[in-house]
């Protein structure tokens, strides 16, 4: 299905959580000089305008990045996340929001590489344009990332962060995530993998998480942020989560400090809460 456009949701609460975790993972990989690859299975357009076009229609960023934009009490990790967004915006006005590959671009070093997949016929050319000056370090594939990563793993660097972030409009994506992880771990068991998912009233989500927790990995971390109570009619997204396979040992403690703050700032009703759990084999 190619109807999904991330621009509708750019900068919302789900993006805050996803990109906060992404930066923590990239910073961890940067602690060693050895190069790594950043692989994105559903890269999107790379950068999104917030005050016009799709993002302005529902203005979801107002319940996400906008709530953090002017705060002076941000914990350090959140302040660093907001600073990446600020670098993209002139004169301190929030007009643009970076996608996952752009966040990665701000963290990778000269020896690191980006490998980006985007199948959407409109977003893929925009992604090429947004990364036209970074093609020395970047390869962009207008293909299905679920299938594409098979050819990239293991990377020659033997270090990588793979972000799996499908739209889940097609319910088969939940099983596609599990299958992709099963195949990826067979090829590259020591890689770091981050899977984003929406919190919806769908049984497929719980099934997917149960299967991810049983993967033959050294460990995993699961965090989600529920910003409101689920709708009585079961419609709409009430939060989002990140499932990290082979997470840094520091990530749990960092998120334990940050998540109460995010619940307070991004929560929309009394149902706002977070879950944080981890497991080591």
Catalytic residue annotation? 165
DSSP 8-state secondary structure symbol assigned to residue 231 = P
Q: At what angle do helices 13-29 and 251-266 cross, to 10 degrees?
A: 160
Residue 169 phi, psi (nearest 5)? -65, -35
Tell me which residue has tokens 């009233």. Answer: 201
Paired with 278 in beta bridges are: 221
CB 114 within 8 A of CB 144: no
Q: Compute the distance between CA of residue 243 and CA of residue 93 in angstroms, rounded to an integer.
A: 32
List the one residue out of 101, 82, 111, 79 whose CA is nearest residue 162.
101
Name 206's Cβ contacts closer than 8 Å, sequence gap at least 6. Answer: none
What are residue 244's DSSP bridge partners? 194, 221
Locate 237 and state its tokens: 């997204």
Instruction: Report the C-alpha gap between 111 and 40 in whole angstroms.
Output: 18
Structure-token match 């033997």, residue found: 158
């Amino acid at each position: 299905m190619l109807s999904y456009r991330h621009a509708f949701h750019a900068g919302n609460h789900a993006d805050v959580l996803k990109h906060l975790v992404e930066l923590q993972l990239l910073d961890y990989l940067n602690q060693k000089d050895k190069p790594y690859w950043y692989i994105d299975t559903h890269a999107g357009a790379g950068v999104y305008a917030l005050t016009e076009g799709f993002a302005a229609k529902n203005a979801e960023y107002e319940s996400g990045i906008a709530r953090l934009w002017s705060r002076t009490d941000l914990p350090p990790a959140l302040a660093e996340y907001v600073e990446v967004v600020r670098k993209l915006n002139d004169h301190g006005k929030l007009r643009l929001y970076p996608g996952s590959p752009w966040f990665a671009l701000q963290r990778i070093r000269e020896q690191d590489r980006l490998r980006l997949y985007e199948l959407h016929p409109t977003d893929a050319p925009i992604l090429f344009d947004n990364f036209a000056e970074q093609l020395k370090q970047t390869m962009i594939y207008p293909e299905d990332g679920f299938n594409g990563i098979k050819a990239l793993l293991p990377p020659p660097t033997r270090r990588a962060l793979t972000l799996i972030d499908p739209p889940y409009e097609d319910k088969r994506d939940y099983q596609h995530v599990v299958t992709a992880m099963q195949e990826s771990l067979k090829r590259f068991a020591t890689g770091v993998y981050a899977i984003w998912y929406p919190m919806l009233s769908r049984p497929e989500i719980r099934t997917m998480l149960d299967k991810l927790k049983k993967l033959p990995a050294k460990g995993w971390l699961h965090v989600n942020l529920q910003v409101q109570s689920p709708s009585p009619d079961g419609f709409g997204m009430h939060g989002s989560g990140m499932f990290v396979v082979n997470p840094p040992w520091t990530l749990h403690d960092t998120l334990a400090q940050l998540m109460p703050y995010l619940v307070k700032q991004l929560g929309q009703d009394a149902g706002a809460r977070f879950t944080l759990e981890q497991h080591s084999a």
